Structure 1
Amino acid sequence: MLEQRLNKAIFLDRDGVINKDFDYVHKVDDFVFIEGVFQACKELKAMGYMLVVVTNQSGIARGMYSEDEFHSLTEWMDWNFVDKGIELDGIYFCPHHPEKGINEYRQECDCRKPKPGMITSAASFLKIDLSQSVMVGDKHDDMLAAHNAGVPTRVLVRSGKKIAVSDVASTVIDSIASLPKYLQSMQ
């Protein structure tokens, strides 16, 4: 029986990593890509990584925008990557919030970071080897979710918001643009 080879992946938070975080971004007009994100993602793909977005979207839970609005923006974002020759391998989101959610969105779930549900779901579905993967986020909860999922390399990016040094981050970089160089230096 042939043993299936698992993929390595870069798990990307959205707001603060892919786009500037203006709080609850849900409209195309408010979506500003981080400088260098497309080039970095091209280089990461060339290095053999899958690209998987994992994003908390509590604005849905809070009633600020709908899942349909989120999907519409996500489709637009995805097409921007495709237009640059980059395929995102997966996009996972959590629409829940344990305290501030309304209706069915107010719940304790396993997908809201810092819980690892989005990462472990992606790993199972996309056949990802978490031990060879990397999490890139701009908050402690991103780092903790990756730690909880068993992702050893956790990179915290400076998104312009105040960040606390995370005891579960491997390193802190200025933006995703410097990630390929950082990963090459580790090899």
Structure 2
Amino acid sequence: MKLIILDRDGVINEDSDSFIKTPDEWIALPGSLEAIARLTKAGYKVVVATNQSGLGRGYFDIMTLNAIHQKMQAAVKAAGGMIEAIFFCPHTASDNCDCRKPRQGMFSSISERYETKLDEVPSVGDSLRDLQAAFLAGCTPILVLSGKGKQTLENGGLPPKTVIFDNLAAVADHLLTREVKTVEARDKTSQETS
């Protein structure tokens, strides 16, 4: 199974220091919906893992969060893609939960849901905590420079083997080009042995 894990704010949609509190504030980043569509068509199961402490802080309620996610799902579907599942942590940092990134609780839940190890599964985020959680879970941490990504890169301290791309579209380009090269190499090898 091909799986990819995406953070939400700053990767799929515009980020905001004052939180995305309504569906109207959810605005897709250029190329992100098309990138998800391309990944979906290539057989990837696209899963979102997102900290949503605005819920715990009382900035919005679960009905509003569901409405934001319905808007995101509809936009992805309209572009020809699909998000298989959305995992979110509603807690604040002071709650000291296991699911809030940089801890790997959401990743463990994803692993259980899909009955698969997350070794080298690409996991895309724009913040250090996204990358740390991915690394702890055994994923390949991918930093995008959209959202808070440039600031994250400047601050340094990235986990080992972090890969850096401009945005989600560039991540999709890389993953899908790599797949084509692997298939071509496999085809060439089978031709040489036959």
TM-score (norm 1): 0.85
* Pick aligned residue for 2:133 from 145, 151, 165: 145
CA separation of 1:29 and 1:174: change in aligned 2, threshold 3 A = same
Structure 2 regions of 5+ residues with no counterpart?
183-194
- What's the counterpart of residue 22 of structure 1? 16
SS at the partner of 2:134? helix
CA separation of 1:168 and 1:127: change in aligned 2, threshold 3 A = same
Number of aligned residue pairs: give it. 173
Structure 1 regions of 5+ residues with no counterpart?
1-6, 100-106
* Pick aligned residue for 1:174 from 143, 166, 181: 166
**Aligned equivalents of 2:57, 2:68: Cα separation in 1:** 18
Say if 1:10 and 1:52, in contact at 8 Å, map to a contact too.
yes
1:95 is the counterpart of 2:99: no
**Aligned equivalents of 1:94, 1:116: Cα separation in 2:** 11
1:62 is the counterpart of 2:54: no
1:159 is the counterpart of 2:146: yes
Say if 2:41 and 2:81, in contact at 8 Å, map to a contact too.
no
User: Map of 1:30-41 to 2, 5 A cutoff?
Assistant: 30-41=25-36
User: Map of 1:90-129 to 2, 5 A cutoff?
Assistant: 90-99=85-94, 107-129=95-117
State the one-letter code of the partner of 2:105. G
Structure with the largest fraction of helix: 2
**Aligned equivalents of 2:28, 2:34: Cα separation in 1:** 12
SS at the partner of 1:19? coil
Say if 1:10 and 1:51, in contact at 8 Å, map to a contact too.
yes
**Aligned equivalents of 1:67, 1:118: Cα separation in 2:** 18
Identity of aligned residues (%): 35
TM-score (norm 2): 0.82
* Pick aligned residue for 1:83 from 78, 82, 86: 78
CA separation of 1:156 and 1:169: change in aligned 2, threshold 3 A = farther
Per-residue CA shift, 1:91-150, capped at 9, x if unaligned? 000000132xxxxxxx22111001111111012112334124110000110011011111
Relative to structure 2, which stretch is displaced further, 79-88 or 8-17?
79-88
* Pick aligned residue for 2:44 from 41, 49, 54: 49
**Aligned equivalents of 1:22, 1:168: Cα separation in 2:** 28
SS at the partner of 2:164? strand
**Aligned equivalents of 2:98, 2:161: Cα separation in 1:** 21
The structure with more radius of gyration: 2
**Aligned equivalents of 2:13, 2:161: Cα separation in 1:** 20
Residue 176 of structure 1, CA deviation: 0.4
